[in-house]
Structure 1
């Protein structure tokens, strides 16, 4: 699937939206004709995270994912948010997840009151079947982070 300048990568039943310029994507095609995205950015290790599941109204999962992805330019300006993912379930296409990793508790608090959060909370709620629950989280283990 293509969402404007977003690439969709399918893995383990979840679609990951990664905003990249088309020229920056590899030419080879992955499963289902989707372009694989490789990220070689070093991310400062931290255990401070956030997870927000979004339940879209029936048939609105793609719109919710795109509305969330529109906040990426704001997140890219945040030094304290080195990892920010939007995941869309293939098993339940109206389920979308936002996953962040932060450098500190202060960075998480700043993110939750910053421009990205303001944009998301101004545009996404009308597309939702229910109010999302914010889960401040701790990273237990990871690979590649």
Structure 2
């Protein structure tokens, strides 16, 4: 099996108004269920809290092949999530709609010295969604693929993904940083500058940018 991720899921989890803390704790429990080699086909897994007024969370994960994704969907984390959905979630996620194709990635976290830290040294991140104009879907796809060399030159951007939701005009960037300073430097970098400079040409609307708190990581 290839160890390079090619597909994944970005699963939004909207907590009931009084269940935000409980959902966050559940995601830490989910991290425990992935400990060891429980899901070898799940290459990378991130539990996130969105910095939004409402208690919104997400799971972002990657796989090399479809069988890895199916094993995760039927695995212990998914079983526990759906068993607790009525208690924790305002809406149950539509899992097929969360599937994405991976266009490009950089995964070079500095894991040395993090010990048992469930965050693996990563603390904050970004989730950026963009909607391409119908006649610019290919151009947006190539733009995101071409952004990788620029990200490779950002030493404070250790983990970066460019994704496409198949059958739609929606693309995304999901990335993670050890410090707020690294996140701020990325937002001031060449990729962000190029993306915002081409909004009118490529996109239906301005990118939707949400900052995230990293809760736990398998990587």
Q: TM-score, length-normalised on structure 1? A: 0.69
- Report the Cα offset of residue 83 of structure 1: 0.8
Query: Which residue of the other structure, out of 95, 114, 134, is the alignment partner of 1:58?
Result: 134
Change (3 A) 1:142 1:76: same
Structure 1 residue 136 corresponds to structure 2 residue 211: yes
Counterparts of 1:140 and 1:59 in 2: how far apart (Å)?
38
Pick from 188, 192, 196 the counterpart of residue 121 of structure 1.
196
The secondary structure found in structure 1 opposite 2:193 is helix
2:119 aligned with 1:43, yes or no?
A: no
- In 2, distance between residues paired with 1:119 and 1:46? 25
Summarize the Cα distance change of 1:16–1:102 in structure 2 as closer, same or farther, 3 Å threshold: same
2:104–2:144 CA contact under 8 A, matched in 1: no
Judge which range, 75-84 or 124-133, deviates more.
Answer: 124-133
Counterpart-to-counterpart distance in 1, 2:151 and 2:162: 12
The 3 A distance-change label for structure 1 pair 63 and 128 is: same
Displacement after TM superposition at 1:62 (Å): 3.2
Corresponding residue number in structure 1 for 2:6: 9
Matched, 1:108 2:183: yes
SS of the equivalent of 1:107 reads: helix
Give 1:4's aligned residue.
none
Aligned residues: 117
Give the greater-gyration-radius structure (CA).
Answer: 2
Unpaired segments ≥5 residues, structure 1 = 1-6, 20-38
| TM-score using structure 2 length | 0.48
Q: Which runs of 5+ in 2 are unaligned?
A: 10-98, 111-120
